[in-house]
Structure 1
Amino acid sequence: MKTFSVTSDIFGHPRGLLYLFFAELWERFSFYGMRALLVLYMTKHLLFSDEMSFGIYAAYMSLVYVTPLLGGMLADKILGFRKAIILGGVLMALGHFFLTFEHPMFFYSSLAFIIVGNGFFKPNISSFVGKLYKDGDTRRDAGFTIFYMGINIGGAVAPLLCAWLAEVYGWHYGFVLAGIGMLLGLLVFKNGLNRKVFEEHGVVPNENIYNEKKWGITRGRLVVLGAFLAVPIFAIIVCFHQFEHYLVWVVTSFLLLYLIYILKQVTKQERQKLFVAVYFTALYTLFSAIFEQAGSSLTLFADRSVNLIGLNAAQTNSINSGFIILLAIPFSMLWTFLNRINKNPNSAIKFGLGVFFLGLGFIVFGLSAQQVDEFAKTPMFYLILGTFIYTVGELFLSPIGLSKMTELSPVKYVAFIMGVWFSANFYGHFFAGKIAKLTTVSGDGLGVFSEGIFGEITTMISGLSTATISQKGMLFQQLYSYVSVYANFGVITASIGILVILFSTPIKRLMNGVH
């Protein structure tokens, strides 16, 4: 009779992928469940002003995508993936549970716990997935696509359950459920360690460095102590969120200096691959800046300018995750099939296609104005179709990017480079806010996209002209503001996607054999 070891493949992939899939699913359940409640909790329960709530939320989300840089670096040098993931999970669980205490100190501290914990958990579990596959393993992209589906299952289900529990029984029950989700993720990961499904991957990189004492404490314990001591620092930063814009300069300076340091330490071939990793991160930043309209201006667009059926504006945010869940397995099978017939496009082309489809999705949002009714409302069909198209773009880019970071990074710095990848979300949120502000209606006219070549693009795609809109009321002016921004950024983004595809050959050469 044939027997299988705990490390044998399951569904054609390393068995460890299954444990990382469920660990990440529950971690994302906790993160997105809490995020769905946060702004509403601040405005409705803590009675913060909208301005203050948005400021805290922006600072929190920015920092969440900054700390993976530090967490990745510390895992590379001292902790290893395993200990970093467990430390991050414990800190995040504490953060969720602290939100049940109604006191400013606990509120800001809870956000800080999650910020620090996410820095240790997020980049290292993604890097861990890459370690399950040997160099050149053609299953890698498919594996990351499956892993990415776990993220979206957690992201889709959590807001529904946590928000329902908060509404029916109280805010704190919603936060407790998010915390329980994080604990479940830790239990799944610990069970994987006990079953040895990860073999020797993710252990402490250098026991001598980990156990070396400084001030009478080992370096490993110093990292843990430092993580807890960092909590009040991040809590203060969130509290004084008015100065958040300086964070961009600090993060950029740190990134550039450390990347220059790495470039001096690696070989020419590694340097070339690192250049491609930075190039892909820049493209992901552009992608994120447009994509993240989903949580801000697109939600308001759905609320004010779309004839919604069966969903309210907030619930439309689940459409993207729903499509990810439906499409992730077919895409994973597609990459496997294309590999088998030697037709799988290289990653540079996939990135170009991802950016192109994102732009095309936003062009569809602009097209919705072609069928506007007398109440300045557009058909919901366009919102669903546009979201479907940019979700296809997301599947071409996001999981593939996760996969490529682990292959393109120098071995000693893989978790830090994964943190660099996640910093694209930090910059994306920053620029997404700037883009969202362009959709607001002011007394200064119809905005920058109503004039010149931009105005012509708006009219061509939306069917709305400034002459027509000037004779209409405020609702039509607001609709024009939305579709003019979406149409023009859609065209710009799709054009960049085409250029990325056209210039994929020299990028492929710099990848030195990485597909």
Structure 2
Amino acid sequence: MKIFSATTDVFGHPRGLLYLFFAELWERFSFYGMRALLVLYMTKQLLFSDEMSFGIYAAYMSLVYVTPLLGGMLADKILGFRKAIVLGGVLMALGHFFLTFEHQIFFYSSLGFIIVGNGFFKPNISSLVGKLYREGDHRRDSGFTIFYMGINIGGAIAPLLCAWLAEVYGWHYGFVLAGVGMLLGLLVFKNGLQNDVFEGHGSVPDEIKFKHKKWGITNGNLIVIAAFLAVPIFALIVRFHQFEHYLVWVVTSFLMIYLIYIFNQIKKEERQRLVVAIYFTALYTLFSAIFEQAGSSLTLFADRSVNLICLNAAQTNSINSGFIILLAIPFSMLWTFLSKVNRNPNSVIKFGLGIFFLGLGFVIFGLSAQHTDEFAKTPMFYLILGTFIYTVGELFLSPIGLSKMTELSPAKYIAFIMGVWFCANFYGHFFAGKIAKFTSVSTKGLGVFSEGVFGEITNLISGLSAENVIKSGEQLQQLYSYVSVYSNFGVMTAVIGIMVIVFSNPIKRLMNGVK
């Protein structure tokens, strides 16, 4: 059965984009459906403390984005994009269904399955999108923005449905629905393979290497076996998340060694472009560390310190994705129009704007404290407005970053460099967990952001002074712990965004013609 017609282009883009759009939509439905429930499930059902829940969440979410390094390498060398995507989808589906069993072994194993599966799925489906466009194709940024909208349609619908099922019928029904979403994503992708819509891209790169046997097992099957054996290893890392910083050093060392190896294999122009790819990845790491308060501290902020209307705390995770859906097509059209009139800003400028708007969004969360009620709760308007502002920032940065990675990467190492890009989320989530822990109320005081310059920034933006808050009840102290962190990190992030724009010209020159 064909989902779309066999014409060369659909809506001005390669028809393979639509299959990848819907495959990624359903995969992200499963991922964000589970993510929306995870911290609330740990704090309310498993009765973990905030600090432990933040630690597990940060470890899980960071590892989800480090495994694409390995998944990208194995796809480049042995599996090819197609087989890697299918293997990743199967592993992730198993992970979501394992969450339906309320036992710690199943809980940590399910996270392990999703971590490993995402490593094979995520970098390779994005790389396959890039392969659909020739170098210099002006439709590339627009195509990735459309693809990014697919991600966020799944991200918008999933928290609403999964959180509703979890609240009405029980947590496990929400997790089951997330698993069903993953299976639907696999079915769409398999349909695309059957209809040959990917124009020969993504196949096994070297059949001889793929079928070569060790210990009587082909390399392809060895990778599948190794993937399943890796699940308990990652489950243990999540369980003992307090030691994750050692993994950060291991990953960093590996990245540096392999990137040095790549630098020695490529030409000067490719090296300069790769430097820009690494710079963009560093900026994305900063973006991710702040942005990924969503799902962790922002979910608890919504649950404890916001007067919610129509949505519960888990469902507020859909607000960001909902704005992406509304704005993705206008942004896609904007980039296409600006390219035609030769006014499309360089990617460095877009990155700077993205980081600036992210910071501004969190400043608005801080401003919400200026209008608290007697229960120390803030109007939902600020949560929605702040999310809208940082969503605009996301559209300036994330889909453009996906697009630029496929252009700036050396052709032989594209999936690995895409893995490096997603590794920014590994570092980002690691630091996001550290930032989230600042929002926990402590018996030792109001924390570092109540003192000195930080305290003055908090007072200026939120209207709350540490002296008055310390004399107040626990609810106002909890609110202060959130808005003090958001205010200060918001200001710092916005300033960095401005600096990226001001010092953009040297980076532009290193891009060697890539817009």
Question: Are the counterparts in 1 of residues 362 and 487 from structure 2 also a CA contact under 8 Å?
Answer: yes
Q: Is the deviation greater in 62-71 or in 343-352?
A: 62-71
Which residue in the other structure is 1:435 paired with? 435
Which residue in the other structure is 2:20 paired with? 20
Paired with 2:13 and 2:293, the residues of 1 have a C-alpha distance of: 35
**Aligned-pair distance for 1:7?**
5.2
Which residue in the other structure is 2:501 paired with? 501
Question: Are the counterparts in 2 of residues 7 and 198 from structure 1 also a CA contact under 8 Å?
Answer: no
- Which residues in structure 2 correspond to 1:177-192 (within 5 Å)? 177-192=177-192
Question: Can you list the C-alpha shifts for 1:378-406, whole angstroms capped at 9, x where unaligned?
Answer: 33222211111001000100111111111
**Aligned-pair distance for 1:110?**
2.8
What amino acid sits opposite 1:339 in the alignment?
S
Which residue in the other structure is 2:351 paired with? 351
In structure 2, relative to structure 1, the CA distance for the partners of 1:166 and 1:465 (3 Å cut) is closer
Which residue in the other structure is 2:419 paired with? 419
**Aligned-pair distance for 1:40?**
4.8
The percent of aligned pairs where both chains have the same amino acid is 84
**Aligned-pair distance for 1:168?**
4.1
Question: Are the counterparts in 2 of residues 69 and 423 from structure 1 also a CA contact under 8 Å?
Answer: yes
Supply the RMSD in Å over aligned alpha carbons: 2.3
Q: Secondary structure at the match of 2:87?
A: helix
Which residue in the other structure is 1:455 paired with? 455
- Which residues in structure 2 correspond to 1:31-70 (within 5 Å)? 31-41=31-41, 53-70=53-70
Question: Can you list the C-alpha shifts for 1:194-246, whole angstroms capped at 9, x where unaligned?
Answer: 11111111111122222223333322222222222222332333344443332
Which residue in the other structure is 1:84 paired with? 84
**Aligned-pair distance for 1:322?**
1.1
Which residue in the other structure is 1:314 paired with? 314
- Which residues in structure 2 correspond to 1:287-306 (within 5 Å)? 287-306=287-306
Q: Is the deviation greater in 328-337 or in 471-480?
A: 471-480
Q: Is the deviation greater in 197-206 or in 123-132?
A: 197-206
Q: Is the deviation greater in 87-96 or in 263-272?
A: 87-96
Question: Are the counterparts in 2 of residues 146 and 329 from structure 1 also a CA contact under 8 Å?
Answer: yes
- Which residues in structure 2 correspond to 1:68-467 (within 5 Å)? 68-101=68-101, 104-467=104-467
Q: Secondary structure at the match of 2:135?
A: coil
Q: Is the deviation greater in 308-317 or in 394-403?
A: 308-317
Question: Can you list the C-alpha shifts for 1:234-288, whole angstroms capped at 9, x where unaligned?
Answer: 2333344443332211211111111111111111111111111111111111111
Question: Are the counterparts in 1 of residues 96 and 179 from structure 2 also a CA contact under 8 Å?
Answer: yes
- Which residues in structure 2 correspond to 1:467-482 (within 5 Å)? 467-482=467-482
Question: Are the counterparts in 2 of residues 70 and 416 from structure 1 also a CA contact under 8 Å?
Answer: yes
What amino acid sits opposite 1:141 in the alignment?
D
Question: Can you list the C-alpha shifts for 1:101-133, whole angstroms capped at 9, x where unaligned?
Answer: 555544433332222111100110011111111
**Aligned-pair distance for 1:43?**
5.6
Paired with 2:309 and 2:99, the residues of 1 have a C-alpha distance of: 34
Q: Is the deviation greater in 203-212 or in 91-100?
A: 91-100
Q: Secondary structure at the match of 1:310?
A: coil
In structure 2, relative to structure 1, the CA distance for the partners of 1:48 and 1:448 (3 Å cut) is closer
**Aligned-pair distance for 1:443?**
4.3
Question: Are the counterparts in 1 of residues 350 and 396 from structure 2 also a CA contact under 8 Å?
Answer: yes
**Aligned-pair distance for 1:356?**
0.4
Paired with 2:77 and 2:400, the residues of 1 have a C-alpha distance of: 26
Question: Are the counterparts in 2 of residues 6 and 196 from structure 1 also a CA contact under 8 Å?
Answer: no
**Aligned-pair distance for 1:88?**
1.0
Report the count of equivalent residues. 512
Question: Are the counterparts in 1 of residues 27 and 182 from structure 2 also a CA contact under 8 Å?
Answer: yes
Paired with 1:34 and 1:303, the residues of 2 have a C-alpha distance of: 17
Q: Secondary structure at the match of 1:161?
A: helix
Question: Can you list the C-alpha shifts for 1:149-181, whole angstroms capped at 9, x where unaligned?
Answer: 111111121222223334444444433322222
Paired with 2:165 and 2:302, the residues of 1 have a C-alpha distance of: 25
**Aligned-pair distance for 1:50?**
6.1
In structure 2, relative to structure 1, the CA distance for the partners of 1:362 and 1:169 (3 Å cut) is closer
Paired with 2:208 and 2:136, the residues of 1 have a C-alpha distance of: 31
Question: Are the counterparts in 1 of residues 159 and 317 from structure 2 also a CA contact under 8 Å?
Answer: no
Q: Is the deviation greater in 6-15 or in 122-131?
A: 6-15
Q: Is the deviation greater in 226-235 or in 165-174?
A: 165-174
Extract unaligned runs of 5+ from structure 2: none
Q: Secondary structure at the match of 1:404?
A: helix
Q: Is the deviation greater in 262-271 or in 466-475?
A: 466-475
In structure 2, relative to structure 1, the CA distance for the partners of 1:460 and 1:112 (3 Å cut) is closer
In structure 2, relative to structure 1, the CA distance for the partners of 1:470 and 1:136 (3 Å cut) is same
In structure 2, relative to structure 1, the CA distance for the partners of 1:57 and 1:196 (3 Å cut) is same
In structure 2, relative to structure 1, the CA distance for the partners of 1:219 and 1:499 (3 Å cut) is same
In structure 2, relative to structure 1, the CA distance for the partners of 1:307 and 1:403 (3 Å cut) is same
Length-normalised TM-score, structure 2: 0.93
Question: Are the counterparts in 2 of residues 7 and 16 from structure 1 also a CA contact under 8 Å?
Answer: no
**Aligned-pair distance for 1:481?**
3.0
Q: Secondary structure at the match of 2:294?
A: helix
Q: Secondary structure at the match of 1:204?
A: coil
Q: Secondary structure at the match of 2:264?
A: helix
In structure 2, relative to structure 1, the CA distance for the partners of 1:141 and 1:432 (3 Å cut) is same
In structure 2, relative to structure 1, the CA distance for the partners of 1:259 and 1:214 (3 Å cut) is same
Question: Are the counterparts in 1 of residues 51 and 437 from structure 2 also a CA contact under 8 Å?
Answer: no
Paired with 1:202 and 1:195, the residues of 2 have a C-alpha distance of: 14
Question: Are the counterparts in 1 of residues 109 and 235 from structure 2 also a CA contact under 8 Å?
Answer: yes
Paired with 1:171 and 1:368, the residues of 2 have a C-alpha distance of: 31
**Aligned-pair distance for 1:457?**
2.4
Paired with 2:354 and 2:282, the residues of 1 have a C-alpha distance of: 13
**Aligned-pair distance for 1:5?**
7.5
Question: Can you list the C-alpha shifts for 1:394-437, whole angstroms capped at 9, x where unaligned?
Answer: 01001111111111111111111111111111111111122222
Paired with 1:185 and 1:38, the residues of 2 have a C-alpha distance of: 21
Q: Secondary structure at the match of 2:136?
A: coil
Length-normalised TM-score, structure 1: 0.93
Q: Is the deviation greater in 278-287 or in 446-455?
A: 446-455
Q: Secondary structure at the match of 1:441?
A: coil
What amino acid sits opposite 1:251 in the alignment?
V
- 2:11 corresponds to 1:11: yes
Question: Are the counterparts in 2 of residues 7 and 196 from structure 1 also a CA contact under 8 Å?
Answer: no
Q: Secondary structure at the match of 2:292?
A: helix
